[in-house]
């Protein structure tokens, strides 16, 4: 009985000392993808933004638990160059074919997430707090923009083009290209003029039976560590590192850029690609 009374007294004292705070924060993200890359491929840092609300339950003067709901953009700049690789070309008036040549690909990938971080925060002095925890992230808007420059090795005067990529990874279908503002590129194949769409979707070079999913997985998770510096009791500047724990790419749609199989179809890669980001925030708490 004495132990029960003591437990109730301790719990009551914690509740009486607790404070509830709500806040908002917004800022910039600098992120990239981590994982195995092919020869000639690399990922550079991309940028995006974040904003959202948070709730902090302060257990005492120095320790609390914080939950947030955020809209977060994470991505990377993907570059790939090869002066001798096989590339699938799909035209509008003949079947797709494979041509060997130079490929120069540049993509700016931006994936939007609804992120739910939960962190423990510790006050260090009057103006500084540090925190650590984890987030669960739900993909809501993956997209990519870029271009592909191709020149045939054996027929450079006939087959060369620059194709723009406008990728909506969740909604694009196999063989899809921009039909709202149709623009086309002409090349010469075996003496005949054929046309390619100038702007294509994420899965344009896929047949319908090859597209078995979407490029990016729906759920991600991150470890979080960071700190906030308070200019005054309500306004702060913060920074946090987020280390991805899961594979963000779907193995059934993560294809090799440098190789095709014996039937000249995509080879899919079963490797882990994760994200890493640094965010800089300005926030208010009330």
- Lowest-confidence pick of 179-183, 198-202, 214-218, 252-256: 179-183
Per-residue pLDDT tens over the stretch 4-13: 444 433 444 4
**Contact present, 56 and 63 (Cβ < 8 Å):** no
Per-residue pLDDT tens over the stretch 158-190: 999 999 999 999 999 999 998 887 899 999 999
- How far is it, in rounded angstroms, from Cα 75 to Cα 274? 10
Residue 286 has pLDDT above 50, yes or no: yes
Instruction: For residue 114, count CB atoms less than 10 angstroms from its CB and return exposed for 0-12, middle for 13-18, buried for 19 or more.
Output: middle
**Contact present, 139 and 218 (Cβ < 8 Å):** yes
How many helices (DSSP H) and strands (DSSP E) are in the chain?
1, 15
Mean pLDDT of 97-124: 97
Beta bridge partners of 85: 101
pLDDT of res. 18: 56
Per-residue pLDDT tens over the stretch 206-230: 988 889 999 999 999 999 999 999 9
Average pLDDT, the chain: 92
CA angle 196, 200, 206 (to 5 degrees): 90
- What residues contact 169, with CB distance under 8 A and at least 6 apart? 142, 143, 144, 202, 214, 215, 216
CA-based Rg of the chain, rounded to a whole angstrom?
A: 25
8-state DSSP, 156:
T
pLDDT of res. 15: 45
Q: Does the domain formed by 2-285 have CATH 2.60.40.420?
A: no
Q: Which of 109, 145, 135 is nearest to 279 (CA)?
A: 135
- How far is it, in rounded angstroms, from Cα 256 to Cα 46? 22
pLDDT category of residue 126 using cuts at 50, 70 and 90? confident
Mean pLDDT of 273-286: 96
Higher pLDDT, 93 or 256: 256
- What residues contact 82, with CB distance under 8 A and at least 6 apart? 39, 40, 102, 103, 257, 258
pLDDT category of residue 40 using cuts at 50, 70 and 90? very high
Residue 203 has pLDDT above 90, yes or no: yes
């Amino acid at each position: 009985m004495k132990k029960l009374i003591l437990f109730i007294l301790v719990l009551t004292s914690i509740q009486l000392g607790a404070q509830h705070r709500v806040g908002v924060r917004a800022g910039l993200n600098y992120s990239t993808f981590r994982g195995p890359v092919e020869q000639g491929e690399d990922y550079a840092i991309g940028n995006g933004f974040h904003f959202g609300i948070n709730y902090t339950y302060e257990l005492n003067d120095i320790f609390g638990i914080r939950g947030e709901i955020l809209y977060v953009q994470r991505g990377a700049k993907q570059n790939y160059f090869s002066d001798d690789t096989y590339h699938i070309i799909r035209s509008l008036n003949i079947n797709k074919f494979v041509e060997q040549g130079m490929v120069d690909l540049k993509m700016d990938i931006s994936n939007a997430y609804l992120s739910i971080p939960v962190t423990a925060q510790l006050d260090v002095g009057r103006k500084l707090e540090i925190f650590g925890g984890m987030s669960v992230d739900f993909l809501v808007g993956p997209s990519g923009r870029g271009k592909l420059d191709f020149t045939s090795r054996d027929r450079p005067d006939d087959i060369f083009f620059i194709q723009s990529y406008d990728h909506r990874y969740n909604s694009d279908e196999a063989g899809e290209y921009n039909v709202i503002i149709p623009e086309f590129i002409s090349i010469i194949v075996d003496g005949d003029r054929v046309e390619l769409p100038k702007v294509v979707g994420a899965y344009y070079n896929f047949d319908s039976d090859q597209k078995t999913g979407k490029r990016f997985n729906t759920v991600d998770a991150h470890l979080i560590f960071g700190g906030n510096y308070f200019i005054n009791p309500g306004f702060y500047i913060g920074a946090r590192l987020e280390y991805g724990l899961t594979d963000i790419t779907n193995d059934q749609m993560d294809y090799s850029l440098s190789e095709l199989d014996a039937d000249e179809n995509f080879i899919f890669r079963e490797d882990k690609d994760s994200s890493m980001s640094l965010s800089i925030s300005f926030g208010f708490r009330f």
